[in-house]
Structure 1
Amino acid sequence: MVFFWDNYSPTVFTDNGEGTSFRSDVGEGVDYYFMYGGNADGVIARMRELTGQAPMFPLWTYGYWQSKERYKSQDELVDVVKQYRKLGVPLDGIIQDWQYWGSNYLWNAMDFLNPEFPNPQKMVSDVHKMNVHMIISIWSSFGPHTKQYKELDKIGALMDFKTWPESGSEKWPVRRDYPSGVRVYDPYNPAARDIYWKYLEQMYKLGLDGWWMDSSEPDHLDPKQSDFDNKTWLGSFRKVRNAFPLMTVGGVSTHQRAVDSGKRVFILTRSAFAGQQRYGANTWSGDVTSSWNALKNQVSAGLNFSLTGIPYWNADIGGFFLSRFKRKLEDPEYRELYVRWLQFGAFTPMMRSHGADAPREIYQFGEKGSRYYDAIEKYINLRYHLLPYIYSAAWDVTAGQSSMMRALVMDFPKDKKALDINDEYMFGKSLLVSPVTNAMYVKPDVNEKEKIQVEDFSTIRSKETYLPAGADWYDFWTAEKFSGGNKVSRQTPLDIIPLYVKAGAVMPVGASVQYAQEKKWDSLEIRVYPGADGKFVLYEDENDNYNYERGVYSTITFTWDDAKKTLSISDRNGSFPGMLTERKFNVVMVTSQANKEITYTGKKVVVKF
């Protein structure tokens, strides 16, 4: 059961031995709901029934994303994509961070006014020709020289508290004697949301594929109590400020869908409020620091976020700030941390490398054949092999009100040992992920006085993982079988993250590709993990657009009968333009590696082992 306190106003929550309470000193009224769902999935389903369902993202959003703070020219950005294609490392998305608009007085102009971006249409086209998608940073505030600022100011839709950036100068430290004049807009005002989209639509016409809505809960620097009395369309900012991300993200999503139903909305954003899942938004955890403790905390952060009913979450792979590592990418401890973070990122709803202080492209970590490069490449490729599994899990989110990152309590509520485990989780309903969150392969350099770390791969380390009771489990890498309700130790060289597959799982594995839609799924490997009955629904559609909402998609159900040792592949249900009418399935029994290749034409097939 869940209690939902439906109040946009700041609220004080208290939970102690005397009881649990909610209090809002500024809210004029409160709606609240008790929702019973029988289990965690049921509660989340009730929450989405109340606040909105999660639409499908395009297939390409589940590929690999490269970004940094920031590409300083269009040539630099395009060259990154060229490098990935030259190296043969898969890539589906690249992101342009801030200041492509020029000076801080032109903050968030939604226009390429920076002379280093002389031909944005060519930039977008060049990226698209290499089969990569591009999204761009936009904010919830505007500089005083922008057209948006002037138009919003005329209708009283700008607030006047201090926000980022404070200075008109881009130099650091901040020069407060040259104030930027940047002001936050009022997204509660429908006319202001219209103005916001009016200018953003010109960017959309360039062919940009989505939006990185930064600071969607605006920076509030040196807040004074009077700041919260800013008037919004719905009353004082004090009363409604918690819903700011919902309103600004919703404004962009609603407007884009109104002008183009052929392209699914994709928004990456920093903040969220209840119901934001209905707007096609994936929330990232913000500018977290680079440390092992931060990595460990990201695991529980993603799980807790998902349990609110908002299913799409991600983090900056490698952490945003590298201040702890003086030698940046030359620090072996950071290189190890980055690889481990990327392994975790491969099993989150969006696999996205981003950060400040040093670039994070794969070739910054060596070349093919080197330890770190090969480990990074291995997990980018694994992400693509698992796309049929991931995209089908996304359909389960949309159609079945499921969650992609699943705390163990969701699938194993009767196992008391699993209830409070926060460093492992289910990714989809078949795969258990146990990220490595501590350094294993560095030691102090005894010849250095500054406590510099050096690599030490002389001993292979291990990680212990608890396997929940009520199921048997297979090591993803070796197919070794384990009984649930026990801890198992697994060696974790740099290129291994402990992964376990639930007995009864049927897992589709795709071909090697350079981008998500390079090859149709005409030759999938179907891995069967015996030991229990199981089922998997393979979902396919046109990979973009909203036709699936009208039933334009197909599903194929794989059912494993463990007693009979048979895999039944159902009649295909549904259809869509471009659908495969004939394909190969290579069915593999993981315990023996016995395989049976079948031709599937949409009619039921039974495979006997």
Structure 2
Amino acid sequence: MTRVARHAAMGFLMVAWACALASSAGFAQGWHHISNVQHVERLKDAVQLTAGAAKVRITAFRDGIFRVRLAPNGNFAKDYSWAVVESPAPPTVKVEENANEVRITAGDVTVSAQKSPLLINFSDRAGNALLADEPSLPMAWDGPQVQVWKKMPEDENYYALGDKAGPMHRRNRAFTNWNTDAFGWQESSDPLYKTIPFFIGLRKGVAYGVFFDNTYRSSFDFGKEGRNYFSFGAEGGELNYYFLAGPEPRKIVEQYTAMTGRSPLPPLWSLGYQQCRYSYYPESRAREIVKTFREKKIPADVIYLDIDYQQDYAPFTINRRYFPTFEKMISDFRAQGFHTILITDLHIKKDPNHDYAPYDSGIKDDVFVKNPDGSIFVGKVWPGDSVFPDFTLTRVREWWGSLYKEFVSMGVAGFWNDMNEPSVFFRADQTMPLDTVHRLDDGTTIDHRAAHNIYGMENARATYEGLRKLQDGERPFVLTRAAYSGAQRYAATWTGDNSGTWNHLKMSTPTLMSMGISGMPLVGDDMGGFSGSPPAELLTRWFEVGALNPIYRDHTAKGTADQEPWVHGPQQEAIRKHYIEVRYRLLPYLYTAIEEASRTGIPLMRPLFLEYPQATEFYGDDRDFLFGRDLFVAPVTTEMVDPEDISLPPGDWYDFWTGAKHPHSEKLQLRPRLDEMPLYVRAGAIVPMQPVVQYTGETPDGPLQLRVYPGEDCSGSLYEDDGHTFAYEKGEILRIRYSCAASSSSVTISSSVERNAYKPWWNSTALTVYGAAAAPKEVRVGERVISDWRFDSQAHDVTFTVPDTLRNWSAHLQY
């Protein structure tokens, strides 16, 4: 290169560098970035850094979890969280300091705080950087706003944040958290109904998590503002975030849900098929729906009643013109195996002097949200002028919970808290004014800026806690639309008012997976779409994939076509019925996985990277998912007739329908017929199943069914309890571990009963062992050779029954 050229190149680089600095300065314009550290104070399990008037506190919260807090004026806010329920239990902390940095080590994680300027970096024991502040943009504030910027490696992937539309991978997009009634949302819509300010970073199989515990309107920008960094912050409140070291994605989800709580075990009936629409009325129509399910022998457990069962849309009332024998109807449905779920929106009709108890008692007990001048805030919703409970007060939550007494005494099984963002009609912002006042138990108040995103969660909490008191030991079922981190402690949820389009079917899977890894495993969508009428094939495909979603609920709006399983003729009905039956056959497997979620936080519906973080080819897979650990689902989500390419996860996999075995390396290209949904079972899985029932309370006719798919890490489990009470908390459960060992010439299956304190419906187990190239020479159960086995040369499986299986047993097949 000539000297002239070299000088020209140097000049170009200097200009580019200056532009980059100017760009960074421009992005940070108006922000007060934290300055240099002037003082270091060692606290118990923490280090406090002073930089000018500001203070930053870095605390070891638990093994693998650090907490960072910023106080711009040096005074930390009252330490309270609506989300975090886990108490700190820090490991031993080691603090080292030199002229340039402070290093805090706890367990396998080290936090390095650079002093000039103050920058915070997290690394593992080997010194590998996990998460680091962007050097040109230290943490900052601007009045009440707070913000932090982090380096963004070019190959790092970002997931979670709850119910965000579009692809599950968040990189190159920006998001706002402000619970919003988002009717008709599409893939670019944001914000939506929930605020889950938690995300997972994943790079080359190594993961970390960040939980930004701030209830104000918050933002997350994964590279839209700048190519080399991401950021998060809020319009008010504290810069207060937790770093979760993982390093496996599963561990991140376990850590986060331990912090914010896990979903309690739901009633078994809530995992059956649920039928809903806006609205089933009058009473004769609701009865017709239930009768048709039973006549057609299509399994179902739940029917919903939307707002038209109420008198003038006032919550906790009954329209006796539409439902003249409401109580008997609920009882009759119970007798037919149907559980009724009622919508109970949180807005209370402003209806003085008409003996409307929720309003009258609420006024008497001073339970409603107020304006700054002390008057009660009134907003228009479905009943017209309405008032809103002040759910941030314990006594108000108790009052709300008591309102369910009459419905519970009638036999209503569950409740649906809708419109709880909160949604207010005829306002541009669709919610309460930001200066409305919410009271706290300590006598202080917060405005709606701080309360908005937790309002729906506290509504669901009030419902759940009220039902715990009223339902005499029965497990509550609450469905909420709005949520904040921790809402999984009280309710299931769904994706809100979607549309009956192929695009929404396609978007449902990444949204549900995102909710699952964001701590909410009990999720579903409005199958078939809330808005619009889906064509027959689309509805059928939705029934297929919905059968392997955690919540299986068909729902649609007023003015749309009927959407029950039997619409569109006998061919469509038969396919939909088949997939509903598949779900009921899988209930032992499903319930076992749901129990795992209640203990560990690991969701039933899982993205591939949760189990296979090293398989980078699945990092962007929005179509396929795991149903539990062992079932791989590749649903058809397009109306195109092109062949469907399927890449299997690592290991070998069996076709669920045919038993054919496929290696991971095999690239499948299928043209699934309308009645086919590609479904595979992990080689090494042992899957418990049952005969079909019409509802979960019906006793299956036959033995427990156990499908054995020999392969590596061959194992499975079964969990059972009574399915509806809290007796499981006292240990009244059945838990069995299964294993198998296979060679080229034999398979041995073993069953070990870990706890036998609940008597199930079965006593014997029917086994199907797959992967049999030929008929076995001998089949033994224990030491006894049996002859009543059967070999299927087409499915390559061997079937036989083991009696008395509520004890330890083994079976051996010799080929």
Q: TM-score range by the shorter chain?
A: 0.7 to 0.9
Contact 1:522 1:580 (C-alpha < 8 Å) held by counterparts:
no
Within 2, Cα distance between the matches of 1:579 and 1:124? 28
Deviations, residues 187-208 of structure 1 (Å, cap 9, x unaligned): 1122322222222221111111
1:76 aligns with 2:76: no
Equivalent in the alignment of 2:250: 41
Q: Match of 1:588, as an amino acid?
A: V
Conservation of the 8 A alpha-carbon contact between 2:732 and 2:757: yes
**What CA RMSD, in Å, does the superposition of the two structures yield over aligned residues?**
2.0
* Equivalent AA in structure 2 for residue 164 of structure 1: V
Measured after TM superposition, the shift of residue 48 of structure 1 is: 1.5
Correspondence for 2:581: 381
Describe how 1:72-471 pairs up with structure 2 within 5 A: 72-104=281-313, 107-108=314-315, 110-145=316-351, 146-154=356-364, 155=366, 157-158=368-369, 160=377, 162-165=379-382, 180-221=384-425, 222-223=427-428, 227-234=433-440, 235-279=446-490, 281-322=491-532, 328=533, 334-356=535-557, 357-366=560-569, 370-440=570-640, 462-468=643-649, 470-471=650-651
Q: 1: distance between equivalents of 2:581 and 2:710?
A: 26
The aligned counterpart of 2:35 is: none
Instruction: Specify the code of the residue in structure 2 equivalent to 1:359.
Output: D
Partner Cα separation in structure 2 for residue 534 and residue 143 of structure 1: 58
Look up the match of 2:69.
none
Q: How does 1:538-557 map to 2 (within 5 A)?
A: 538-557=718-737
Q: What percent identity do the matched residue pairs reach?
A: 28
- Aligned 8 A contact 1:135 1:210 in 2: yes
2-structure distance, mates of 1:405, 1:579: 26
Query: C-alpha separation between the residues in 1 aligned to 2:239 and 2:461?
Result: 22
Q: Match for residue 528 of structure 1?
A: 708
| Corresponding position of 2:373 | none
Contact 1:37 1:45 survives alignment (8 Å): no
Q: CA deviation at 1:363?
A: 2.5
TM-score (norm 1): 0.88
- 3-state secondary structure, aligned to 2:423: coil
Contact 1:393–1:428, Cα closer than 8 Å, also in 2: yes
Shift of 1:61: 1.2
SS of 2:734's equivalent in the other structure is strand
The answer to whether the 8 A contact 2:216-2:450 is kept is: yes
User: Does the C-alpha gap of structure 1 residues 93 and 308 become closer, same or farther in structure 2, counting only changes over 3 Å?
Assistant: same
In 2, Cα distance between equivalents of 1:590 and 1:123: 50
- 1:149 is displaced (CA, Å) by 2.6
CA distance in 2, matches of 1:259, 1:516: 23
For 2:471 and 2:290, the matched residues in 1 are separated by 27
Matched residue SS, 1:493? coil
The aligned counterpart of 2:215 is 8
Judge conservation of contact 1:57–1:264 (CA < 8 Å) in 2: yes
Determine helix, strand or coil for the equivalent of 2:752. coil
Judging by fraction of residues, say which structure has more strand: 2
Deviation digits for residues 276-322 of structure 1 (CA, Å, limit 9, x no counterpart): 1112x111101101111111111110111111121111001100011
Where in structure 1 are there 5+ consecutive unaligned residues? Answer: 169-179, 323-327, 442-460
Q: Counterpart of 1:38 in structure 2: which amino acid?
A: P
Q: Does 1:593 align with 2:797?
A: yes
| Alpha-carbon distance in 1 for matches of 2:266, 2:432 | 41
Structure exhibiting the larger radius of gyration computed from Cα positions? 2
Give the drift of 1:72: 1.3
Task: Give the deviation of 1:229 after TM superposition.
Answer: 0.6
CA deviation vs aligned residue, 1:195-230 (integer Å, no higher than 9, x gap): 222222211111111111111212144246981110
- Residue 716 of structure 2 aligns to a residue whose secondary structure is strand
Write the deviation string for residues 342-361 of structure 1: whole angstroms up to 9, x where unpaired: 11110101111110212212
Q: Distance in 2 between matches of 1:489 and 1:139?
A: 47
| Letter matched to residue 262 of structure 1 | G
Residue 163 of structure 1 and its aligned partner are, at CA, apart by 4.7
Superposed counterparts of 1:504-583, under 5 Å: 504-520=684-700, 523-563=703-743, 565-579=746-760, 582-583=763-764
CA distance, structure 2, for counterparts of residue 514 and residue 424 of structure 1: 29
Alpha-carbon deviations, 1:225-267, whole Å to 9, x = none? 9811100114101112111122111111112213335210111
1:458 equivalent in structure 2? none
Deviations 1:426-447 (A, max 9, x none): 0011111111111147xxxxxx
- TM-superposition CA deviations, 1:124-155 (whole Å, max 9, x none): 10101101111111111111124323333451
CA distance in 2, matches of 1:385, 1:582: 17
Paired residue for 1:454? none
> How big is the shift at 1:511?
0.3
Name whichever structure is richer in helix by fraction: 1
CA distance in 1, matches of 2:305, 2:600: 34
Q: Is the 8 A contact 2:589 2:718 kept in 1?
A: yes
TM-score by length of structure 2 reads 0.66
Structure 1: distance between partners of 2:386 and 2:770:
61
Q: What amino acid is aligned across from residue 69 of structure 1 in structure 2?
A: Y
**How far apart are residue 590 of structure 1 and its match?**
5.1
The 5 A counterparts of 1:473-512 are 473-512=653-692
- The answer (yes or no) to whether the contact 1:302–1:313 under 8 Å persists in 2 is yes
Deviation at 1:594, TM superposition (A): 1.2
Q: Deviations over 1:75-103 (max 9, x none)?
A: 21122111111111111111111121121
Decide whether the 8 Å contact of 1:566 with 1:606 is kept in 2. no
Do the aligned partners of 1:362 and 1:377 also contact (CA within 8 Å) in 2?
yes
Q: Deviations for 1:356-396, whole angstroms, at most 9, x for unmatched residues?
A: 21221223222xxx321111111111111111110111111
> Highest relative contact order (Cα 8 Å, sep 6+), 1 or 2?
1
Return the letter of the residue paired with 1:89.
Answer: I
Q: Which residue of 1 aligns with 2:124?
A: none
Query: What is the CA-CA distance between 1:537 and the residue it aligns to?
Result: 0.9
Counterpart-to-counterpart distance in 1, 2:680 and 2:800: 24
Paired residues, what number? 559
Structure 2: which 5+ runs fail to align?
1-207, 371-376, 441-445, 773-795
Distance 1:589 1:481, change over 3 A: closer
Please report how far the alpha carbon of residue 522 of structure 1 lies from its aligned counterpart in structure 2 after TM superposition: 5.5
* 1:489-524 deviations in Å (ceiling 9; x for gaps): 123111111111111111122102111131258512
